[in-house]
Structures are given as structure tokens and as C-alpha cells.
Chain A
Amino acid sequence: MSPILEISDLSVAYRADGGDVHAVEHVSLTLNPGEVVGLCGESGSGKSTLAYGAMRLLRPPALITSGSVRYSGRRITSGGDPVDILTMSHRELHKIRWRETAIVFQSAMNALNPVLRIEDQILDGIRAHLKMPRHEAKEKAASLIDLVGIPRDRLRAYPHELSGGMRQRVMIAMALAADPEVVIMDEPTTALDVVVQRDILSQIVELKERLGFAVLFITHDLSLLLELADRIAVMYAGRLMETGAAQVLMRDPAHPYTEGLLNSFPSLRGPRRDLNGIPGVPPDLRDTKPGCPFIPRCGFATDACSSVDMSLEPVTGSVTARTADGRHLTACPIVSPEELREATEKARQARQVSKEASPEKAASQEGVRS
């Protein structure tokens, strides 16, 4: 099964007088048909830049400095070679945009045109790519609205007349207007409250099952991806740190950053545990020092780390590395999953000991930490 979207060695920089800002550095990511790939990272990690850059939607001074983005949808390639989005002209891009790859934006309130009715905005997407008479297009728009569970009378409404959750559903309906093969979702639920979030997420899963599109799900919340995604890619400072099947990543993280992320959110089930977070801040993307960008915040950093070449390599010594559902790759050659697991366990035991030694201090610390 060949991937539907293959990003290879993509780099995106923002040109500025004071020096380029390297937002994305040599990232390779594949998306298979019908798959959900989660792209996870802190804000400023370059995950959105990666997605929008691959679609060539970034404005000046953004510049794509290396790589290719190959798309293999049958409608475009008719079974032949994949086409590289980065070499397309504006006219060719029009054919791909929305019809093949659609985007669900983060803030629906900002991404919807305030002066157009919802129906018109959905019709826009339909009629730009599908040749059909107006009444047919309107019927299609209505059926899309049904699909996302919004009453049809809301079609004539303006964006500000809808609730946040409804607006996000409209965004999803809009994205599906031209039957795309790939849907990029840029933090679609971040601005919503938890209950609505759940709703939208299960809706997305249901739609994906029904219509068969692939999803690139961008978020800073790793916990969402563990249930939603087939594979996960973890990004930091413009580079990929680790990729692999979701279950594998959760059980056997191979990169200290992933480990840090996993320890940063509580799970609803399971034993109560201490939350850690990751101390420090992401680096300035203007000066790219050699080696791993995570060094200042990494508990396992050694001198060798500043000459690591940051390419993704298969994880060695991991029991699950040989599973069929996607290779497990990491950018950290220093640490293995077992070492990570041992170190985390040791740290937890150490904290347990200190908690037993002085319960009051531990209690106050706990309150502060979570």
C-alpha cells in the first residue's frame, strides 16, 4: 500500500533581515490512505508550519528551502507517478487544494468569513471543484450539514450566530465538501471545552470510517492522539523526535521528549501519579546549533548529543519495534526505551521515598505541580 501523502526532507524557513528562522528542519512524514497520523508538539514546534508549508499556504517571508511533498491520489495521478506539490504552478495547486487535501482550521470563528452565510461558504468549496448545477450543490451542502449533525435551518446563518462547537462542525463539513482524500486538522478542538471536544472527536472518527479519508491530526495534546491516531509523530524545535504506532509510543517511548510529554498529562484511568512537565523553554529557531535541540531540557543529555545528526533511525532493542503497524523511529541514538523506562521508574521511586519522609512537603509540592 503506497502512501497517499509523502513528505520528504521538508524544510521551511522565514526569511528575515536578522537571519532566517528555521521553523521546520528536514522533516519526513508519510500518510497512508485511511490512516490517522497525529503530529504532536509544543506551540512553536513547527507542526502547523509543516502542514501549511506542505500545502504551500504560508505567506511571505516563508520560504520552502528543501524537500518534496508527493501526493498519490488516483484522481490526479491516474495510477501513475505521484505529483510533487512543491513543483506545482498556482493553477495546478487549485486542482489539489480542497479537492484532494482539505484543512480544518484551528479557530473556526477566525477561519469563517464573517459576512457570508454558512451555506455560501460550503458552496464555495463545492463549486470551485465540482461541476454541478447550483441546486445540486445546495443539496450536497445540506447533506454535509446533516453528516456533522447540525440542523439544516442553520445553513442560512452567519458564523457569529453559531456556538463554538457548531462552528467547528461546520468547518469539518466544509472540509469534506469536495470529497478529499486527505484532511489536515489543525488543533480542531483546542478552543472547545472538554465535553464538546469528545463529541467532535468521535464525529471525526465516524466520518473517517464512513468516507475513508486519511487524517493528519495536529495537536499539542498527546493524550488525544493516543486514542485517536494510528501513528504518532512527535516534533520539537522544527524537527521530528520520534515516530511510531500510537500504542508503541505510549508503552515504549524511545525519546526523552516523548517521555516528558507522556508524563505531562493525567490519565482518567490508572493509578494516581506525579506529573512532571518539562522544565525549560523551546530554543530560538534563528540560531541552529549543531546536534539535538532538546539538550538544554533533556535529563539524559551527554556530550555526544551535540554532534548527533538528528536523522530518524529505527529503535533498537525494543520488543515492539518489530510490529507490523509502522516502524518505530527515533532521533535520539543515546537512549533506548528500556533505559528510559528504568530511569523514570527510579525517579518515581525516589519521589515516593521523599514523600514518605516528609508528607506535608510532598503534599504541598503535589498541589503546586499539577
Chain B
Amino acid sequence: MKSGFFAGIANIWRNLPGKAKVGVWLFGFFVLAAVIGPEVAPYAPGAQTPLTQAAPSAQHWFGTTQTGQDVLSQVLTGIRLTLELALLVGVIVTVISVLVGVSSAYLGGVWDDVLSLITNVFLVIPALPLLIVLLGYLSDQGQTSTIVVLSLLGWPWGARVIRAQTLTIRGRDFIAASRETGEKTWRIIGFEVIPNEVSLIAASFVNTVLYAIGASVALAFVGLTNVTTWSLGTILYWAQNDSALQGGAWWWFVPAGLAVALIGTSLVLLNSGIDELGSPRLRATRGTARVAGHRIWPTDPTPVLAQLEAEPGRLGSFLHSFSRASVLQETSAGGNR
């Protein structure tokens, strides 16, 4: 069984498009930073030193803040906190959306109507203003309330998509067959339906993490979350508050935002890979624009091999001129063609 699992992972890896692999590596890097970062940080993130607003140096790789705090240590702590929060929200939201989406599609009837209505209503009401209002009323603005609030508003997207997919699967023959043979509903859902939606659930999870990062950073930036904890958004809040950019202290402002941007990009790349894995048509068209060294657009007529070979593509002939084969071609001494 174990070898099957690892073989399966290896298979998925092989089929991932290039950009998704970049995403995996990049995200892995940040996970690593989250895990070991705060341990290897040279200073405590809140520790003030007399070296205020100092440019990056050997002592402080990312420079210091207005109160002499080491920016690198803050960023490392921030990555961990932000990722922790985002992944936790991702898990909670994915669980909720799978529950709602699958049960809504599978049970149907009034249950479906009610759940769909709730889902759609919360989809259409804009999330950030509601988040702001909720946090505005909550006097305790700790991590927990942020997590709760983000989770409450994050599940409709996934639920809707999963419901649609479950409806399609439910209409398929093999489900009807399972029902005929008397398999219990929960078994059908757990062993037949959900395994067919794995790529969708994975994509939904990644999207939720993206949303959680973006929303939590935005909320922290405007000061609506606890400004004493060192999340990436809080760093930006303080940097903005103390006019870092205007004072020329770009090193204070840039790294945290860059970290958010890179984490976000890695997730988007990852997601595009999951998309292509799950959607055969996108996958089939990926990389097929190149035939025999030429790029073929969809509106081009079907290429004829003889003609393609007669005129190598520009890049193809350029590269070819470096190859040993072409060198051999040109020497009179031989080499076979």
C-alpha cells in the first residue's frame, strides 16, 4: 500500500506542468521558513535596539525599524503566523464547503434549495466590508476572532463549486450502480464521490489559503487585527504608520509585502497546475502548440511534416546550429545524416 501511495505522488509530480513545479518549490521554501524561521531568527521580533532605521547590513540583513527592531526576524515570525492562520482557515473552510457542497448536491430537494440559497447569499454579499464591520464590533481582536470571521465568510466559494461537481458525478452511471447494489450512502459519498473530486477540493483549498492570506494581511494593514502580534500584515501596518517609505526606509516595507506576494504567486502557480491536472482539455492543449519544433496556433491548418521539416523554426534552427549533428553535416569529413 505504501509504495502505491508514493508511486502515486511521483506520478502526479511527473504530470505537473513546469510552472506548477515552480509553485511547489516556492511554497515549500516558505513552509520551511515558517517552521524553522523563528528558531533561527537572530533577534526577537519586538526587541528594540538603538540602531534605529538602519539600512540592511551584515548585522541586520533586512535592516531595522524605527525603534531598532530587526526586520528579518519580524518577517520570519510573520511568515509563520500568517501561514499558520491561512492554513488553519483553509482547513476549516474546506471541511465546511465539502460538507455543504456534497450534502447539498447529494441529498437534493428542500435541503439543497436552502443550502444553495444560503451559499449564494453569502457569495453575493461583499466579504471585506462585512469582515470590517464584524471586526469593528468585536472589541477583542485576537487571532481567534480573525480566524472565525474569515472562516465564516470563506466557505461559499468552495461549496458552490463542489456542489456543481457533485451533481455531475451523482448523475453518472457508476453511482447509480453503487446505489443499486445497496451500498450505503455515506460509503458512496466517501469512497466513490469524493475521490473523484480530489483535484477540485485541492484547488479549492489552495484558493481559500490565498484568500485567507490576502484578507488577513489587508485587515492587519488597516489595523483591524491585533497589532501587537507579528503577522506580515502587522509589519506593514507599523511600517505605514511610521511612514517608512516616506522616510526612505524601504527595507522595512518591502520584504514583508514581497513575502506575501511570493507566497501568493506560488499558490497561484500551484493552482494552475492542479487545474490542468483536473481538466483534461486544458491539459491536452498544454504544450501541444509545438509540433516538430514549430509553434502551431489553433487557427492554423493541420501541419504537414514534410513542410515543417523543410523549414526549421527560428529557434529550432538557431539551436540546431550548435548541435553536433549540424556540425557534422557541414564537415566534409563525414558524420551520417
Contacts and interface: CB of A to CB of B under 8 A. Distances in A.
Contacts of B307: 87
A87 B301 CA distance: 11
A12 to B, nearest CB: 8
A90 B291 contact: no
Interface in B286-337: 288-292, 296, 298, 300-308
Contact of A62 (B289, B290, B302, B306): B302
Nearest to B299: A90
B292 A56 contact: no
Contacts of B303: 60, 63-64
Contact of A64 (B290, B300, B302): B302
B304 A64 contact: yes
A60 B291 contact: yes
B101 to A, nearest CB: 28
A353 interface: no
A87 B304 contact: yes
Interface in A22-66: 52-53, 56-66
B288 A64 contact: no
A21 to B, nearest CB: 12
Contacts of B306: 66
Interface residues of A, number: 20
Interface residues of B, number: 16
A49 to B, nearest CB: 10
Contacts of A53: 302
A56 B301 contact: yes
A123 to B, nearest CB: 21
Contact of A86 (B291, B298, B304): B304
A63 B292 contact: yes
A287 B305 CA distance: 20
Max chain A Cβ within 10 angstroms of own Cβ: one of B289, B292, B303, B304: B304
A93 interface: yes
Nearest to A86: B304
A95 interface: no
Max chain B Cβ within 10 angstroms of own Cβ: one of A15, A53, A58: A15
B295 to A, nearest CB: 9
A280 B303 CA distance: 34
Contact of A15 (B292, B298, B300): B292
B302 A63 contact: yes
Contact of B301 (A12, A15, A90): A90
Contacts of B298: 59-60
A15 B291 contact: yes
A56 B302 contact: yes
Contacts of B302: 12, 52-53, 56-59, 62-64
A86 B310 CA distance: 14
B305 A61 contact: no
A357 to B, nearest CB: 37
Contact of B296 (A57, A60, A65): A60
A83 to B, nearest CB: 14
Contacts of A12: 302
Contact of A93 (B288, B289, B290, B301): B301
B301 A61 contact: no
A61 B288 CA distance: 5
Max chain B Cβ within 10 angstroms of own Cβ: one of A12, A53, A63: A63
A330 to B, nearest CB: 29
Interface in A1-22: 12, 15
B305 A63 contact: yes
B313 to A, nearest CB: 14
Contacts of B300: 90
A60 B288 CA distance: 6
A62 B292 CA distance: 11
A52 B301 CA distance: 10
A15 B294 CA distance: 13
Given A59-B298, A90-B300, A65 B305 contact: yes
A303 B290 CA distance: 41
Nearest to A93: B301
22 contacts: A12-B302, A15-B291, A56-B301, A56-B302, A58-B302, A59-B298, A60-B288, A60-B291, A60-B296, A60-B298, A61-B291, A63-B291, A63-B292, A63-B303, A63-B305, A64-B303, A64-B305, A66-B306, A87-B304, A87-B307, A88-B301, A90-B300
Given A59-B302, A60-B303, A64-B303, 17 more contacts: A15-B288, A15-B292, A52-B302, A53-B302, A56-B304, A57-B302, A60-B288, A60-B296, A61-B291, A63-B292, A63-B302, A63-B305, A63-B308, A64-B302, A64-B305, A66-B305, A87-B307
Interface of A: 12, 15, 52-53, 56-66, 86-88, 90, 93
Interface of B: 288-292, 296, 298, 300-308
User: Which 4 interchain pairs have the tightest Cβ spacing?
Assistant: A56-B301, A56-B302, A58-B302, A61-B288
